[in-house]
Amino acid sequence: MTNDYLIKSAEMDCPICNKVHSLELRKRLTQGLVKGEVVNYEEVYYLCPLSDEEENEFVPAGLMDENLLRARDAYRIQKGLLTSNEIAEIRSFYGLTQSDLSALLGWGDVTVTRYESKTVQDETYDNIMRMAFENPMFALENLDRHKERFTEDRYKRIRKKITDKVEEVGNLYLKKQEINSLYVNFQEESDYNGFKKLDIEKLANIIGYFAHFANNVFKVKLMKLLWYADALHFRRYGRSMTGLVYKHRPYGALPIAFDEIIYLPTVRVIEEIIYEDISYKIVPNKQVNVSDFSLEELNILESVATKFKNYRAREIVNYMHEEKAYLETEEYEIIPYSLAKELRELR
């Protein structure tokens, strides 16, 4: 594949020969300088195929702006900053115009417009926009703080939209914060997390999968299913699936944050009285979307769910007690993933 290719040809006024003829609109990978750093980006330009001059290309002003935008976005991606499209997505998440978002965050009227079209935002501004997106309560507090920047009607309409988002994703944000704070000592990839940083979205999807495809999924059983999925994935690919860290406990492997992870939004927890004890049954909250998983992951989830489908908590606990990972660790000790290499074959 060449890096320079034709997008289309069109009859146009050619500024090089000063007459109307067919010009080529082309695209190529090029390098540019943004804030003193070299970035690779795609630039679009016109080529006059009739000219023998060395200068047979030109870029009209509108295209020039688009090229610069792509160069800045390449820089943003390199620096881990929000791209102009991502900023626009944050706005549409709350139904805000560019000047709405600026006003909501207490910035000058055109600040967001500039970030979407001209200037690369600095890290502080980037963090604030990210926070407003991830935590709707933060957006709401800011809206109320800058209420005078909006008409009464506009304020009410935006407030309604944000409070809807607080209900929809606000709890998830808080749950994630809680879980992440319990994993603060496991930010690095190691034998403890299976060489993977905790992936809460993936974890939520896996919990949803098990709630859907296995029977009698109570808390204890779910934790074992998770361990088997992670251990099997580690044995096959040298990485865990979720990044959970498990400890050796009387009822087998128990992940750190076991009390918090069952409140992720893919499942609901129902209290059931069994033999006069309250048990926590995990039921699916929404359809399982298989496209959330790779084929390798699905294969593992299916093996684990099938193997233990009808196991009761006591049976899966007893089964796990025979694993080397359990036999070779002490009470409260973290179970290193390297011991998963010895996992018994699931069938």
Tell me the closest approach of the beta carbon of residue 66 to Zn ion, in angstroms.
Answer: 22
For residues 341 and 235, is the Cβ–Cβ distance under 8 A? Answer: yes
Q: Which of 14, 132, 182, 261 binds Zn ion (CB under 5 A)?
A: 14
- Pick 16 or 128: Cβ nearer Zn ion: 16
- Only one of the segments 12-20, 90-98, 161-169, 185-193 lies at the binding site for Zn ion (rule: CB under 5 A); that segment is 12-20
CB closer to Zn ion out of 57 and 164? 57
> What are the phi and psi torsion angles at 173 (to 5°)?
-60, -45
Whole-angstrom Cα distance, residue 218 to residue 270? 9
Residue with Cβ nearer Zn ion (51 or 318)? 51
- Quick one: which of 16, 59, 63, 128 contacts Zn ion (CB under 5 A)? 16
Query: Is the CB of 53 or the CB of 168 nearer to Zn ion?
Result: 53
CB 16 within 8 A of CB 48: yes
If one asks whether residue 12 binds Zn ion (CB under 5 A), the answer comes out as: no
Q: How far is CA 163 from CA 33, 96, 109, 141, 156, in A?
A: 42, 14, 23, 11, 10
The residue (of 21 and 321) whose beta carbon lies closer to Zn ion is 21
Residue whose pair of structure tokens reads 């626009």 in the numeric block? 88
Closest contact distance (angstroms) between CB of 52 and Zn ion is 10
Cβ atoms within 10 Å of 159's Cβ, excluding its own: 16
Strands (E), the chain: 4-14, 19-34, 37-47, 57-58, 246-249, 252-255, 267-274, 277-284
Listed ranges 7-15, 39-47, 218-226, 271-279: which one lies at the site for Zn ion (CB under 5 A): 7-15
Residues within window 210-269 making contact with Zn ion, judged by CB under 5 A: none
Name residue 339's amino acid: L
Q: How many CB atoms lie within 10 A of CB 259?
A: 13
Quote the CA–CA distance of 10 and 57 in Å, as a whole number: 15
C-beta closer to Zn ion: residue 17 or 169: 17
Mask for 42-71, x = binds Zn ion (CB under 5 A):
------x-x---------------------
Total residues at the site for Zn ion (CB under 5 A)? 5
Is position 25 an interface residue for Zn ion (rule: CB under 5 A)? no
Interface characters, 131-160, with Zn ion (x: CB under 5 A): ------------------------------
Q: Least Å distance between CB 16 and Zn ion?
A: 4
Min dist CB 17 to Zn ion, Å, is 4
Residue range at the interface with Zn ion (CB under 5 A); choices 11-19, 112-120, 134-142, 244-252: 11-19
* Encoded tokens for 89: 């997505």
Q: Give 10 or 33: the residue with its C-beta nearer to Zn ion.
A: 10
Looking at the Cβ atoms of 57 and 292, the one nearer to Zn ion is 57
State the Cα–Cα distance between residues 200 and 203, nearest whole angstrom: 5
Please, is 271 exposed, middle or buried when counting C-beta atoms within 10 Å of its C-beta (0-12, 13-18, 19+)?
exposed
> What's the CA gap between 80 and 88, in Å, rounded?
16
Crossing angle of helices 200-213 and 219-237, in 10° steps, is: 120
Q: How far apart are CA 19 and CA 226, in angstroms?
A: 69
Smallest separation, CB 42 to Zn ion (Å): 23
Stretch in the footprint of Zn ion (CB under 5 A) among 3-11, 41-49, 182-190, 235-243: 41-49
Beta carbons of 219 and 282 less than 8 angstroms apart: yes
Instruction: Give the binding site for Zn ion (CB under 5 A).
Output: 14, 16-17, 48, 50
